[in-house]
Amino acid sequence: MMNNKNSVFCLQVWKVKKILSIILVLSMYSASSYSQDKKFYIYICLGQSNMEGNAKFEQQDTINVNRRFKVLQAVDCDNLKRVKGVWYTAVPPLTRCNTGLTPADYFGRTLVDSLPNDITVGVINVAVGGCKIELFDKDNYQSYVSSAPNWMLGMIDQYGGNPYERLVELARKAQKDGVIKGVLLHQGESNVNDPLWPKKVNGVYKNLLKDLNLEAASVPLLAGEVVNADQGGVCASMNAIIAKLPETIPNSYVISSKGCTVAEDKLHFNAAGYRELGKRYAEKMLALLRSANSKMKL
């Protein structure tokens, strides 16, 4: 017969085993409460009007959109029957309720056409026409907003008054579904000839990495040139500053806008220009993905 000491010991062992089994079940439940798909590639997009989408999209842009290309809705849009924070097939507009075609459209389309069929691509696009990069400075954005023109305030308000925080909010939600693979930036017209622009962009990029617990080595930053001089770009001088970005951010790459056709204002691209620029972003990202995983069958 077991003595009292042995009985107590056995009871304690049983209790420990029970507690461990409960912890195991809870951890399994927590891990399965959302399913992160390693083959769901997510890209953060931000900037001003050329990332927002200035050109009207055409019929060719709204048909036959691959269902493997998704957009995480950034604002509620009754006219589109879309709700903030929900994934939808990436039929334009991808930014807000009444915006146009963006580089993100044909970035995503080109990726899904080139990647294996089991890979899905998602974009999150938070952009505000006319804004300086300072709008995305998480520590000082309020100072910028306080002096922003009235016509810009309505767009900012659609992001809860803080576009950077909206971007992070959505990106954190997206991380439960997939893996953030890169950042796409198109901004600079409102910071034209600002020599501190690369440093300011670096501040935004570092904050994104920190707030989303990302490593710079695995999350490249792709920055597009503004309308090129060969198209008579009114802000083309900014491209010399954009070209210096890799000196500040090693894992950054400049996407050429040379030859990308433009609108009459020489400030924005036209629909064809956005399509071409988006493809160029995608071609660079594909090259980086190949480099990161040479065994990937593309």
Catalytic residues: 49, 265, 268
Are 134 and 146 contacting, i.e. CB atoms less than 8 angstroms apart? no
CB neighbourhood size of 8 (10 A): 11
The Cα 1–Cα 70 span in angstroms is: 67
Helix, strand, coil abundance in the chain, percent, nearest 5: 45, 15, 40
Is 75 within 8 Å of 69 (Cβ atoms)?
no
> What tokens does 101 get?
């075609």
Q: Give CA–CA dist 202/21, Å, rounded.
A: 46
Are 254 and 246 in contact by the 8 Å Cβ rule? The answer is yes
* Cβ count within 10 A of residue 151: 9
